Amino acid sequence: MTQLLQLHHVTKKYHKHTAVNDVTVSIPTGKIIGLLGPNGSGKTTIIKMINGLLQPDKGDIVIDGYRPSVETKKIISYLPDTSYLQENMKIKDVVTLFEDFYNDFDSKVAYQLFEDLNLNPKERLKNLSKGNKEKVQLILVMSRKARLYILDEPIGGVDPAARDYILKTIISNYSNDASVLISTHLISDIEPILDEVIFLKEGEIDLQGNADDLREEHNCSIDALFRERFKK
């Protein structure tokens, strides 16, 4: 099985605080992986390093044979945990922007998803609820034909009724030669679609493995296992 993403002994410090400590992870193609941990566990720091937004102090990151660079930005579709779109733009203008910027962006897919979720492409972003803005951002990210989708808290502000649809969107819009890395604390919602999980605790890997194997070994759900290992 081809390894799409590899982190080798990656460490990142902020001043004296170690945010990520000696993390080694391999992520194969064709999988949905949950990067799971409480706030402050290092999830967003790892994601930013994979995206080239932060540099590791030690260790190596390799994505499809490349270190984080212009080349990897072409194959990574990234949903950050904060909004990056200009509020005054209409949805359809953002679609045009993505079409111009990304060769692998499929506007037909995006418009179909907007229609399914009753989002009017002529609406300005500033008039949308927080949940609908998140839906727009996720649709834009999943409408690319990327190799690696990185989703930081993709369903945090989305109403429960739309979560199932969004999870189905994630499943149906990535191909066998791509993978999806989802960082979240809403584990019970996202658990049904996860192939593998990585538990992060205080910047270190606490547990990782195949989701079905872990459920069988511990005789409980991933959500219950997470609560047990991270209880105060």
Question: 23 has which bridge partners?
Answer: 10
CATH number of the domain enclosing 157? 3.40.50.300
Question: 201 has which bridge partners?
Answer: 204
> For the segment 173-225, what is each residue's pLDDT rounded down to a tens digit?
777 889 999 998 888 889 999 999 999 999 999 999 999 999 999 999 999 99
Q: Give the range of the structural domain holding residue 68, as residue numbers without chain letter.
A: 3-229
pLDDT at 82: 78
pLDDT at 85: 84
What dihedral do alpha carbons 188, 190, 192, 193 form, nearest 10°? -170
Q: Token digits for 103?
A: 């060769």
Number of structural domains in the chain: 1
Task: Tell me the whole-structure pTM to 2 decimals.
Answer: 0.92
Question: Kindly report the CA angle at 145 between 68 and 108, in degrees rounded to 5?
Answer: 140
pLDDT at 16: 86
Q: In which residue ranges of the chain is pLDDT below 50?
A: none
pLDDT at 166: 79
Specify the residue for token string 């937004």. 53
What type of residue is 76?
A: I
Q: Which of 169, 165, 164, 134 is nearest to 152 (CA)?
A: 134
* Dist. CA 133–CA 88, nearest whole Å: 12
pLDDT at 88: 92
What type of residue is 181?
A: L
Q: Token digits for 61?
A: 């990151």
